[in-house]
Amino acid sequence: MDVYQLMQEEKDDEAGYETAMLLYSAALKKIVTKVEILNDEFQHVHNYNPIEYVKHRIKKRSSIEEKLRRKGYEPNFENMISQIDDIAGVRIVCSFIPDIYQLVDMIGRQSDLTVVSIRDYIKKPKESGYKSFHMNVRVPVYLSDKEVTVQVEIQIRTIAMDFWASLEHKIYYKFEGNAPEYISRELRECAGIVSMMDDKMFSLNEAIVKEKEKAAGE
């Protein structure tokens, strides 16, 4: 059973919406707990934490309806479930780019998660300069008398990517998506600087690790 099927069992639309939000909230809790366990295990085995911090949110109803209208769909519950894949979202922020792909692999190997889709905006950034790794997964939520499959979007990025994306969001929000060309151009240039910073910081970290190993061997 999926979220929409369970919503249809409710007596009215409002009750169905509240049920859906309950399920998305439960799915977020499961994903966040999984990520925390993976991070703890990585610390235990490798003495290193690949994750800097984790954020999560459920999209507001007004935002869902606005997104549906932008996509040309009627803002009803059926379209909400079938056309919007980021109602429940988890953002994982890592230190370095290799950490992202290692985490993607670990999440993908979880037996009770089904990876629905992936979008690698790190290897192929958006035209705006946006970089992040997106994966949509389905997670089972166990209620008292049934199992419901819920979809969650996971975004994984570095600290630098997250800083850039947060700034871009604020700027475009102020301009309602129609920022002047010179601002878009400056943002793209900043995205290039962010990419160079990520590469430089990873190289520096590798050098530090080698120096530590060298000192330990002396």
User: What are the catalytic residues?
Assistant: 153
**Contact indicator for 89, 152 with CB cutoff of 8 Å:** yes
Quote the CA–CA distance of 90 and 69 in Å, as a whole number: 24
Residue 36 near residue 54 (C-beta atoms within 8 A): yes
Closest CA to 38 of 98, 109, 86: 109
Strand order in the sheet with 133-142: 51-58, 88-94, 147-158, 133-142, 114-120
The whole-angstrom separation of Cα 217 and Cα 123 is 37
